[in-house]
Structure 1
């Protein structure tokens, strides 16, 4: 069995693209989730190089060093929480990360800051603001429903944070819509 950690594999479409490439190379997948692939068999060096080259051409990268793997796992947990799940405001992000990654939160936080040059908190805020942009563009939820969905304590707090990050109020952003959302791997 081989476990691969893959950088920039941040959405279901990414998973489909990687799965397609693994199928083309005849590699059997045991399990796959954001940023991680578990293959049923060990990879030969030749197959690993083929896969690495193919994935690089598609904007993905196999992560070999331990620190980078942990950073990518932190990002994937946050992306999954913000973009793919209904959040449970009763559980702290620090507890979620510690439990899922089996490391003390202080270690994770310090490592993330050291490698990424920003804090986990700032990264989650950036992800939440991208999700707010998405929901504003879809125009299906009110700002108060968006605030509730993303566990903001109030609409005012969401609005203030949104303006601080984007320079626009949510209502102004909604009007101009030309402001492009960033892909998740560029946040």
Structure 2
């Protein structure tokens, strides 16, 4: 088994931390990305257990079952779309997930809801609201620019969704400046 799946890898810093731990264990990496590591050689069960223990102390977790791997891939694709791609792509989320994971969207949606207790759409909205909070705290973009960057059809729609999720208007959130952001793995 050359491919490892790791839960809670949500940013480039996570990739660096995991890479560092793999290096310490003498495991050569062929490729590493959010939630997935491809090793040059097969890992022994002893090394895998060691890695699993170390990763747990750092807030990560090795994933073994197929359904959990799919869920983690869905989350990583959404996190990447919302937080790491500054594109104004208007691609449909269901199409993006289906094409990246080679599964029918209905299957992915039902699996996600069954395992996570929420819908893919609600998870996607939660990630978008966290990104809006981040951009409001940075105070570099107007609400119109934020709405455009995150593909909202209007500022009003963004504001309504923000208030529905947080209980606050974006302008009030910006005004109080308390960091009410959650870590991405807690969303």
TM range (shorter): over 0.9
Separation of aligned partners in 1, 2:45 and 2:34? 24
What TM-score, normalized by structure 1, do the two folds share?
0.98
**Kept in 2: contact 1:74–1:97 (CA 8 A):** yes
For structure 1, list consecutive stretches of 5 or more residues without a partner in the other structure.
Answer: none
* Secondary structure at the counterpart of residue 4 of structure 2: strand
Counterpart position of 1:122: 122
Change (3 A) 1:156 1:133: same
The Cα of 1:177 is off from its aligned counterpart by 1.5
Q: Deviations over 1:136-183 (max 9, x none)?
A: 000000000000000000000000000010011001000112142100
Counterpart position of 2:75: 75
Counterpart position of 1:52: 52
For structure 2, list consecutive stretches of 5 or more residues without a partner in the other structure.
Answer: none
Q: Aligned pairs, how many?
A: 187
**Residue 142 (1) aligns with residue 157 (2):** no
Counterpart position of 1:18: 18
The structure 1 segments of at least 4 consecutive aligned residues displaced by more than 6 Å after TM superposition are: none
What TM-score, normalized by structure 2, do the two folds share?
0.98
**Kept in 2: contact 1:7–1:62 (CA 8 A):** yes
* Secondary structure at the counterpart of residue 153 of structure 2: coil
**Kept in 2: contact 1:87–1:151 (CA 8 A):** no
**Kept in 1: contact 2:4–2:37 (CA 8 A):** yes
